[in-house]
A = this chain, B = another copy of it.
Amino acid sequence: MADLTRATADTPPGRATIVDVARAAQVSRQTVSNALNRPDKVAAPTLERVLREIDRLGFTPHITAQQLRRRKAAAYGFEVNPSGHGRLGHILDEFLVQLTVAAPAHGSHLMTFAPDPEDVIEGYRQTLATGLVDGFVLADTRHGDPRPQWLLDHHVPFVAFGRVWDLPELRQWVDVDGGAGVREAVAHLVAAGYDRIGFLGWPAGSPVGDDRRHGWLAGLADAGRTASGQLEAEESVQDLDQATAAAERLLRRLGPGSAVVCASDMLALGAVRAVRNTGLALGADIGVVGFDDTDVADALSVTSIRQPIAEAARTAWQMLTSPESPRPVLLAPALTVRSSTTRTPTSSATRPRDTPITEEQP
């Protein structure tokens, strides 16, 4: 169907193949192949001649034929799970994009596939059996997830984004150290001059949520403070109103001049609403930090903890394609600082920075 080359006297119509190049450069198939794959094995003048013809004919190797002969797809599968409201969500969305961006650097491609709703494994088995992919990038590893063990059992290369909690001996995963991110956020808040620092999280029990909570405690310890006297709200993000109410209770106890670190940007939205409901100023009176640096944080001008997704993607490829046995990697997130954690308000860009602001202090 697609025609990429113009047909002339010495270029047959359709896409140019390796034999077309060979004929034009007056060498054999194999020499053209060598020119591309092991240039050191080809004499300099020959190499130059072949490369010139490759360029002239616009030859690009047919990956499908390579895949067949090399018995290697140079492609990896990525399961997109339509369960989460039919979307990947902010983090996996970005992860997929960054995986795709980083793929060429490893001579690979990414192929998406949807899971079989009946059987978690079936989609993996099929995708692999067709020879379309060499392995998989796992995301969203859950407790009791059967996939890592199955992949191990069948010697299928894979890497996980997210700790594989069930298999502590497994080494092929990248994750983001959420706890370290929260810890850093606490340090930032202390340095910014907030007196008391609370935490708005999810109900205990989820590994991710608990990790972030521990980061908060560690941050307090770093600053020589303890959690006693502090208050921790535990509500589900599902209901924004609950989060808002929890944040209001938190603010009543901590008072102006304090700050709240939240386990998600959606919780941070609740905190911001609570700040407004309480009649306080965001940033000047109360600091708020979110998690994941979503559109919401950006729109609300809320400081947020940003996961280094691009680096996670690059690390994942490294583990997948480098031959030696990998080491688990924990990446540190970074803080995107916005006006929600600035005690001298700069939210209005029209107001000059050096204008002294009288703010009510406790």
Contact = CB atoms under 8 A, between A and B. Distances in A.
A237 to B, nearest CB: 8
Contact of A113 (B100, B156, B157): B100
Contact of A94 (B3, B87, B135): B87
19 contacts: A2-B135, A2-B154, A58-B129, A60-B129, A62-B68, A64-B68, A68-B68, A80-B96, A80-B101, A85-B94, A87-B93, A88-B97, A101-B114, A103-B113, A110-B112, A237-B299, A266-B299, A273-B276, A276-B276
Interface in A59-94: 60-65, 67-68, 73, 75, 80, 82, 85-90, 93-94
A4 B128 contact: yes
A295 B237 CA distance: 11
A88 B80 contact: no
Given A4-B128, A65-B131, A241-B348, 20 more contacts: A1-B155, A1-B156, A2-B156, A3-B154, A4-B154, A63-B132, A64-B64, A64-B131, A64-B132, A68-B68, A80-B96, A80-B97, A80-B101, A82-B101, A85-B94, A93-B93, A96-B112, A97-B114, A110-B111, A266-B299
A46 interface: no
Contacts of A296: 269, 295-296
Contacts of A64: 64, 67-68, 73, 130-132
Contact of A62 (B131, B299, B301): B131
A49 interface: no
Please report whether the interface of chain A is mostly helix, strand, loop or mixed according to DSSP: mixed
A89 to B, nearest CB: 8
Interface residues of A, number: 69
Contact of A80 (B90, B100, B347): B100
A86 to B, nearest CB: 5
B4 A310 contact: no
B82 A98 contact: yes
Nearest to A86: B94
B3 A155 contact: yes
Nearest to A130: B63
A276 B68 CA distance: 63
Interface string A136-174: 000000000000000000111100000000000000000
Interface in A112-138: 112-114, 125-126, 128-132, 134-135
Contacts of A241: 301, 347-348
A130 B2 contact: no
A217 interface: no
A205 interface: no
Looking at A130, A240, A348, which has the most chain B CB atoms within 10 Å of its CB? A130
B100 A112 contact: yes
Contacts of A88: 93, 96-97
A73 B98 CA distance: 24
Contacts of A214: none
A197 interface: no
A15 interface: yes
A33 B128 CA distance: 20
Contacts of A42: none
A104 interface: yes
A269 B299 contact: yes
By Cβ-Cβ distance, the 7 closest A-B pairs, closest first, are A60-B129, A240-B299, A63-B130, A100-B112, A101-B114, A62-B131, A93-B93
